[in-house]
Structure 1
Amino acid sequence: MKSFFIHFICLFFILAAAPDLSADQTASPSPAKQTLRLMLDWFPNVDHLPVYVAREKGYFNAQGVSVEIISPSETADALKLAATGNVDLAVSYQPQTIIAADQGLALKVVAPLVRHPLTTLLYLADTGFDHPQDLSGKKIGYTVPGLMDVLLHAFASINKIDDYTPVNVGFTILPALVSGQVDAVMGPFKTYETVGMAQHGYKAAFFELEKWGIPDYEELIFVCSPAILKEKQDAIKGFVLAMEQAFAHVAAYPEQSLALYLDAVPQADKKMETDAFALTRPYFATTLGHDPDKWQAFADFARTHGLIQNQVDAARLIHTWQ
């Protein structure tokens, strides 16, 4: 299970051409890099591995960009801070982005990170749940308020889960399940929490959302505000191009990519991250761009099932790079 503690990683790059250049100055001047502040959706983990590969392989530097990676205090912080321009970029989720757009937040989606859902409705394997409807009358936890609780509502409606009690468990997933506080939890990733539970001697089972009525969606994406995109378009395009190189490297050299990540994030649990990476790797993006029809299908679903109140034109959220 993922840690409760958020590790703040502030990676400051000294601009080579700045007038107050310090000890990193070289004999011959080099072009100044533009710094972008990227806020993750959570503490660093293998979901973010391609970002670290882009940094460690020098792909950001080659695009004239330096990237400061920051962890949020709460999982919802990244999207809000990106929308207000307090960070340049954020890792977020497609459903959360559509919900935020419905609420009036101005956002632009600039690149994918994880192409398909990782989120599950997870439970202990020995509980005997064979169909979502078996959870009728049960207590069901959720992790991220404003996202996982609304997904749970839609999932329950589609799968006829009646009279359930929603419980905000945050990220105390395993304790909540083992103690009987809840019977299942909406929000754990099939590629991460399952590994953590196994390390603690518990076998997880789960219902995959896309197999039980939730449309396919992009689990993790990079977003920014329209104002930041306009102001820093060249730098953000450089970030996106560097990520494309990183995706290719991860696909071609998975073991080296994992080693780069583990060196960059020394506090990571190497056994857990290694096992989780094996499950996560097939879901990473390999190319840039987004499918507007896929995005619109989820937006229409969200309105039908009450996740959003208004019609959202998903294509307007997506920035297309030329």
Structure 2
Amino acid sequence: MERIRLALDWKPNVNHSGILAAIHHGWYKEAGIELELIDRELTQSAPQKVEAGLADVGLTCIVTLASYREEKDSQPLKAIASLMQEDLSSMAVLESSGIERPAQLDGKRFAACSVGGRNPTITCLIQNDGGKGDITYIQSDRVNLYETVAENKADAIWLFKNWQGAQAEAAGIKLRHFTLGDYGVPYCYPITMFTSPTFLAEHSKTLRTFLATTAKGYAWAVANPEKMVDILLEQVRDEHKDKKFLEIAFAATRPYFISSKTGSWGHMEPEKVNAYLKWRAEQGLSNGPLAVDDFVTNDLLG
């Protein structure tokens, strides 16, 4: 048995459906892989775990991975698969707020779990719609950010439409979403699998088997939505064990697991990644765009 320690981007959720399906069916063990899932901790991200040797493979968004790669003395971590083919995050406001487009967010309050400086992505979203990008950032004490706008403590939030958006829908809260791609802001792949150069070089055969088994799990999940929801009910944390919510969440995610171009799971389009990396450089978020071939690879996928 070959062991793979997988550092999650957060708690088990609908984005991890294929992984959870493969675990449920025992497919990793059949393939000779002992898979250990490691939950995300607030004190240590998945890239930090992989770099420290506490995990072999990690999950994170391209944004975080690019930021981490650009840090001084960081390892050249490399994306080896994408869990989903489209960015499912969005800026969200209440349908009843009267805010019908991003430009109307000027002068409004944007809530997040933690507040740093200006967020170039949000600024660009507003400016590309003709606004100034003048928005006030506030910190929310709510785990479920949609409650912050529902209680009129903020005007806008950032969320995953297929998770927090599904939670809001299940709670009867109607939101309006502004998606980055609709306003010319490249954001690329929301959740990618990545590994270290050492593990990639020394365990490429194991990684190929792991990814093939994971792809099998995602294909099964797409073909068996009702059964997949039942597996999610078993695997997610107690606070998320709500069948109505999980049905909404999986229905919102299912169309994006398999590429319409390749008919398979996991593949990343170099052109799409390059567009995002170029945009980062243009926004002053990096010293220069990373080389795509040095940042992502599809070579381990079938």
Question: Which residue of 66, 86, 89 corresponds with 1:116?
Answer: 86
Unmatched runs of 5 consecutive residues or more in structure 1: 1-32
Query: What TM-score results when the alignment is normalised by the length of structure 1?
Result: 0.82
State the shift of 1:200 in Å. 2.6
| Equivalence for 1:279 | 252
Query: What TM-score results when the alignment is normalised by the length of structure 2?
Result: 0.87
Are 1:132 and 1:207, in contact at CA under 8 Å, matched by a contact in 2? Answer: yes
Question: Which residue of 95, 103, 108 corresponds with 2:71?
Answer: 103
Which range moves more in the overlay, 81-90 or 42-51?
Answer: 81-90
1:42-66 Cα deviation digits (max 9, x unpaired): 1111111111011112221122111
**CA 1:229 to 1:146, structure 2 compared with 1: closer, same or farther past 3 Å?**
farther
State the shift of 1:209 in Å. 1.2
**CA 1:199 to 1:129, structure 2 compared with 1: closer, same or farther past 3 Å?**
same
**CA 1:116 to 1:143, structure 2 compared with 1: closer, same or farther past 3 Å?**
farther
| Equivalence for 1:19 | none
Task: Tell me whether 1:164 sits opposite 2:135 in the alignment.
Answer: yes
**CA 1:198 to 1:173, structure 2 compared with 1: closer, same or farther past 3 Å?**
same
Are 2:110 and 2:137, in contact at CA under 8 Å, matched by a contact in 1? Answer: yes
State the shift of 1:256 in Å. 2.3
CA distance in 2, matches of 1:168, 1:91: 25
**CA 1:146 to 1:139, structure 2 compared with 1: closer, same or farther past 3 Å?**
closer
Matched residue type, 2:300? W
1:223-258 Cα deviation digits (max 9, x unpaired): 111122223333222211111111221222222233
Unmatched runs of 5 consecutive residues or more in structure 2: 259-263
Q: How many residues align?
A: 289
1:25-57 Cα deviation digits (max 9, x unpaired): xxxxxxxx1221112111111111111011112
Question: Which residue of 8, 16, 24 corresponds with 1:56?
Answer: 24
| Equivalence for 1:304 | 282
1:291-314 Cα deviation digits (max 9, x unpaired): 111110110011112333322112
Alignment of 1:8-23 (within 5 A): none
Q: What is the alpha-carbon root mean square deviation over aligned residues?
A: 2.4
User: Considering only CA atoms, is the larger Rg found in Structure 1 or Structure 2?
Assistant: 1
Alignment of 1:1-322 (within 5 A): 33-74=1-42, 77-104=45-72, 105=74, 106-143=76-113, 149-159=119-129, 160-169=131-140, 171-186=143-158, 188-215=159-186, 217-265=188-236, 267=238, 268-285=241-258, 286-319=264-297, 320-321=299-300
Matched residue type, 2:42? E
1:242-292 Cα deviation digits (max 9, x unpaired): 111112212222222332332334733222111110111001133343211
Q: Secondary structure at the match of 1:282?
A: helix
Are 2:12 and 2:235, in contact at CA under 8 Å, matched by a contact in 1? Answer: no
Which range moves more in the overlay, 206-215 or 222-231?
Answer: 222-231
CA distance in 2, matches of 1:94, 1:74: 19
**CA 1:266 to 1:78, structure 2 compared with 1: closer, same or farther past 3 Å?**
closer
Q: Secondary structure at the match of 1:241?
A: helix
Q: Secondary structure at the match of 1:114?
A: coil
1:102-133 Cα deviation digits (max 9, x unpaired): 22432111111011011100111100111101
Are 1:108 and 1:317, in contact at CA under 8 Å, matched by a contact in 2? Answer: yes
Which range moves more in the overlay, 129-138 or 200-209?
Answer: 200-209
CA distance in 1, matches of 2:293, 2:26: 32
**CA 1:142 to 1:309, structure 2 compared with 1: closer, same or farther past 3 Å?**
farther
**CA 1:198 to 1:44, structure 2 compared with 1: closer, same or farther past 3 Å?**
same
